[in-house]
Structure 1
């Protein structure tokens, strides 16, 4: 079965210089497609997302009635799938442990959950967990894997897939969900070989990132936007790691027009990366949420802006399948504000 990418150390010489000027990219034709509400009408936010040729899978998140006035927001172990053929959602066997900000990927008929954040709802702190699990789609069965190596536990990483390997860049190990609470961003980069069950350490990001977009195109791992130690500290960087020559470190490319964390990101073909929404918007009336739709042309190394999202939100992970980018759920307020909105983006190429 063919599976699809879910939509996450600059060279030292590049770190000191501003990004070079690039000619503007032309705007492209595009459209949005409305789809059946997530979970038949159950809001979801801060979940992991994985996709196969036939389904989209959503893993964990925060409760559907979560809001910013709650004394604490627990993580959940919900697991559901959307069938492209049936155009409907189905609840599956719950994850053995509750997660938010799960790092998820689909590889060769299995769904991998590689760490994340977890909280029991007693306080307003989400802690990193290195617990890992794999779900066998054919057997409808979860199995525990060996946990992440010491010092690598984290959630909200950029995720990329190439062959049987899942790549994780950045992430966070602690998120205190209250005013001025600590949000610990990381710069570590690792690869998990799903066949061998082994982890490899790769060159660190040039700076810490979490709530960041990630994808593999060809043999390059793209890491876009995100934030560095807190919602206001949003970034617009575009970095790549050559997976065939990782020792060369990270390279910088044209910067995303709008700095954003908590954005959704997906790919169309081997040429375009599209980014949507995000968190940290300072404009009054925005609820702290961005509505931007901005697309990167990999070949021309340039960005172009499109019309605003019809349903602005943050705190969700997109999936790239069948030439579309699917965006399930997300939040409509900075912090907690889950919705059941489900739509897809198409780009005329």
Structure 2
């Protein structure tokens, strides 16, 4: 049975690698070797090749002046750059079609004319998608210090992001991540006291250093909803546990200080559920006591409300600082948790305010006290990304399950498998 399963997995990923090479706006970086060139000037792609995908020059959204002149000349040769919108089916109908296209098609769409290119490059197309409640979720994760990979769970396609800019300290420091709007934020330290934010923009396919928080921190709980995100608790540069919270707006790239929580906490988790933000679990107080309560923040009243026993129960006693923050995720406004010790999935009953067990995690959901295991909501799916317990080789696997309204146990589907010698360092889901 094991051999059969391995064979099936290898067949699946042979086809997925083929789909990578056919991605419209990406191409493999080929080696300059005459022995490996075909008659058409392209090298055949072997199954064992490590492929780095990068934006095709002709379809880059951000190009140099020469490329821009070539694009404008191409538009003039094809007639009015707006003709596909105005003359055939009209602008409104065109936009209605475009916002329903997959995000993976926008590179090709941007190459058609100036109007389409402006829609994608400016981010207006993602604003229209959000207004019409059209969201496509991709998983972003890092298993190398400065390298990030994106995965489309619907089409099962991979994409390597550009390498992060970094100093030595930031590269080696612990980092935390969150996707909000069309931004991927990676938070860490560039020295032993200064907190920095490295921001990846989907619109430009590039990294830059973002705006700092009003009160920089680490070990916080965070979650995003559309173009906003909330960061709560954590530790400041003096390692003091914080009760403060801030809201980030990805479109304005601004930070707003929120009212303080009822309790200071660090190593906590955050989720949005029923339009409200929740911070769950963590460590609080001078004695580093484990907190079992959560707190609800109402975005309309701007008030925090404490909720007893909202944190998932711990199945094994261990040092509070040794265990990862609660592994929680929300799908269809229902709260789920992964118990890394007992390898179980649990669900929170909002009426009784109790946790109950649904079933098992995937077999390869390995971790060290919860570290190295990603448990995320991805649209209507729960995603589990697990890797090897020690460095030196192996795979990470992406497993998916679509929860139902009853108490049926999870039925996991393997979406992707990738070579990796490391844990999952960071993971975020971008929905736009």
Q: Do they superpose with TM above 0.5?
A: yes
1:113/1:309 CA distance change after superposition, 3 Å: farther
Is 2:145 the counterpart of 1:36? no
Q: How far off is 1:195 after superposition?
A: 2.5
The structure 1 residue matched to 2:399, chosen from 268, 276, 295, is: 295
Q: 1:43 aligns to what SS in structure 2?
A: helix
Q: Measure the CA separation in 1 of the matches of 2:270 and 2:411.
A: 22
Is the 1:156–1:172 contact (alpha carbons within 8 Å) kept by the matching residues of 2?
yes
- What per-residue deviation string (whole Å, max 9, x for no partner) do you get for residues 290-329 of structure 1? 964352423451346664553623442422436xxxxxxx
The structure 2 residue matched to 1:211, chosen from 314, 325, 334, is: 325
Q: Measure the CA separation in 2 of the matches of 1:197 and 1:127.
A: 24
The structure 1 residue matched to 2:382, chosen from 269, 272, 275, is: 272
Residue in structure 2 matched with residue 135 of structure 1 by the alignment: 248
Q: How far off is 1:149 after superposition?
A: 0.6
The structure 2 residue matched to 1:202, chosen from 294, 297, 307, is: 307
Q: How far off is 1:172 after superposition?
A: 2.9
1:239/1:77 CA distance change after superposition, 3 Å: same
Q: How far off is 1:236 after superposition?
A: 2.9
Q: Measure the CA separation in 2 of the matches of 1:6 and 1:173.
A: 33
Q: Measure the CA separation in 2 of the matches of 1:34 and 1:119.
A: 32
Q: Calculate the aligned-residue CA RMSD, in Å.
A: 3.7
* Unmatched segments (≥5 aa) in structure 2: 1-126, 140-153, 315-322
Q: Measure the CA separation in 1 of the matches of 2:196 and 2:331.
A: 30
Equivalent positions of 1:19-58 (< 5 A) are 30-39=156-165, 43=171, 46-58=174-186
More contact order relative to length (CA 8 Å, sep ≥ 6)? 1
Q: How far off is 1:84 after superposition?
A: 0.9
Is the 2:200–2:207 contact (alpha carbons within 8 Å) kept by the matching residues of 1?
yes
Q: Measure the CA separation in 2 of the matches of 1:5 and 1:114.
A: 24
Equivalent positions of 1:94-113 (< 5 A) are 94-113=212-231
* Unmatched segments (≥5 aa) in structure 1: 8-27, 65-73, 121-125, 176-181, 227-233, 323-349
Q: Measure the CA separation in 2 of the matches of 1:40 and 1:62.
A: 10
Is 2:265 the counterpart of 1:154? yes
- What per-residue deviation string (whole Å, max 9, x for no partner) do you get for residues 176-211 of structure 1? xxxxxx975432222222222122233413524743
Q: Measure the CA separation in 2 of the matches of 1:213 and 1:192.
A: 20
Q: Measure the CA separation in 2 of the matches of 1:264 and 1:238.
A: 13
Residue in structure 1 matched with residue 297 of structure 2 by the alignment: 192
1:160/1:39 CA distance change after superposition, 3 Å: farther
The count of aligned residue pairs is: 264
Q: Measure the CA separation in 1 of the matches of 2:272 and 2:136.
A: 8
Is 2:344 the counterpart of 1:237? yes
Q: 2:352 aligns to what SS in structure 1?
A: helix
Residue in structure 1 matched with residue 207 of structure 2 by the alignment: 89
Residue in structure 1 matched with residue 354 of structure 2 by the alignment: 249
Q: Measure the CA separation in 2 of the matches of 1:159 and 1:78.
A: 20
Residue in structure 1 matched with residue 278 of structure 2 by the alignment: 167
Q: How far off is 1:96 after superposition?
A: 2.3
Q: Measure the CA separation in 2 of the matches of 1:320 and 1:294.
A: 16
Q: Measure the CA separation in 2 of the matches of 1:207 and 1:61.
A: 29
Q: Measure the CA separation in 2 of the matches of 1:168 and 1:235.
A: 23
1:5/1:196 CA distance change after superposition, 3 Å: farther
Q: Measure the CA separation in 1 of the matches of 2:219 and 2:246.
A: 15
Q: How far off is 1:88 after superposition?
A: 0.6
Q: How far off is 1:30 after superposition?
A: 4.5
Q: How far off is 1:51 after superposition?
A: 2.3
1:170/1:255 CA distance change after superposition, 3 Å: farther
Q: How far off is 1:108 after superposition?
A: 4.9
- Greater fraction of residues in strand: 1
Is the 2:219–2:234 contact (alpha carbons within 8 Å) kept by the matching residues of 1?
yes
1:272/1:113 CA distance change after superposition, 3 Å: closer
